[in-house]
Amino acid sequence: MSSSLTLQPIGFIRTQKQVKFHARHQPIESNAEQNVLELLPDCQYEEALQDLAGFSRIWLVWWFHRNTEWRPLVLPPRGPSKRRGVFATRSPHRPNPLGLTPVQLIRVDGLKLILGACDLVDGTPVFDIKPYIPGYDIFAEERTGWLDEVEEALSQPPLYTVNYARLAETQAEWLQANWQIDFRPRLSELLARDPGLHRSRRITRRSAGVFVIGCGAWRAVFAVEEKRVTVQEIEAGYAKRFLCDPNRSGIIDREAQLAYLEHWPERPLTVRKKAD
């Protein structure tokens, strides 16, 4: 048997999620959200899609195309800061970074599949589509290992309250009004559960009592006092010299960050630490 296999995408996902931060680990299907799977032309996929419209949910088999390495032990974003064997998680850092997602099928429109909420970022290559069959695909009484404890904790009310200082609120409202960028719901959800240091959640310490969390192309600076989290300010994720570098292509929200830095210029790290 060959030690390597060749796979070809059948299409690509088109979604508003440009970075992993925006892709929830478990999409909330009650949210009004539509995504599109665009299948490649001239591959006889029109015939392959025959009869699929009668299903309300499908499985997508896809590729974690932004990952270049795998790890035998990973730090899941949910639950306590504890490493787990990668085969006991859904981490993207896998020997073969394949993803499997059940998603609502809203309709079939030619070579486009209109989908509901999903956890894929824009441009994700898709290898296969399979119908979701409840009689075969549901095993409600099965155990879920270490996730049982995590799910129990997540079923409880959040331990922390999250508030925004005046500066952070002003900055967030400016981003929403001028660039339709608003990561506050996801940010508040994460911080309300656990604002502690966590690599997968991109939470690091800046100074005594002050932390930073990555929010896709942005950062939020926050402080924790007992069970109260205060988001102090929002920062652009890239320095201006990087944003203005023509050799650095593909930076998410580049124009928004440049405009943002005109209003709130970046400060040297030493100054930021002293201010904090």
Alpha-carbon distance 168 to 209, whole Å? Answer: 17
Contact 224, 190 (CB under 8 A): no
* Nearest alpha carbon to residue 81 among 195, 162, 211: 195
Tokens read off for 178: 């001028």
- 140 or 170, which is more confident? 170
Looking only at the bridges linking them, the beta strands covering 161-164 and 228-236 are parallel
- pLDDT over 60 at 82, yes or no: yes
| Structural domains for the chain | 11-152 (2.40.30.70), 161-275 (3.30.2310.20)
Question: Which residues are CB-contacts of 275 (< 8 A; sequence separation ≥ 6)?
Answer: 267
Give me the DSSP letters along 124-171: -EEEEEEE--HHHH--TT---TTHHHHHHHHTSPPS-EEEE-HHHHHH
Residue 14 to residues 18, 26, 106, 124, Cα–Cα distance (Å): 10, 18, 15, 8
Q: Which of 51-55, 154-158, 189-193 has the lowest mean pLDDT?
A: 154-158
Residues 96-107 have a mean pLDDT of 93
Residue 93 to residues 66, 98, 127, Cα–Cα distance (Å): 10, 9, 18
166-179 and 254-263 helices cross at what angle (nearest 10)? 140
Residues 212-239 have a mean pLDDT of 93
Residue 266 to residues 32, 153, 217, Cα–Cα distance (Å): 35, 38, 15
* Nearest alpha carbon to residue 163 among 195, 199, 197, 201: 195
pLDDT in tens, 151-169: 777 677 888 999 999 999 9
Backbone torsion region of residue 125, taken as left when φ is above 0, otherwise alpha when ψ lies between -120 and 50, otherwise beta: beta
Residue type present at position 65? H
pLDDT in tens, 255-269: 999 999 999 998 765
pLDDT in tens, 24-51: 555 666 667 899 999 999 999 999 999 9
Rg (CA), the chain: 21
First and final CA of the chain: distance in angstroms?
A: 59
- pLDDT over 90 at 191, yes or no: yes
pTM of the model: 0.65
Task: Give pLDDT, residue 29.
Answer: 63
Q: What is the mean pLDDT of the chain?
A: 87
- 48 or 1, which is more confident? 48
Confidence of residue 240 (pLDDT cuts 50, 70, 90): very high
- pLDDT over 80 at 178, yes or no: yes
* Nearest alpha carbon to residue 36 among 111, 127, 98, 133: 111
Place of tokens 């088999």: 61
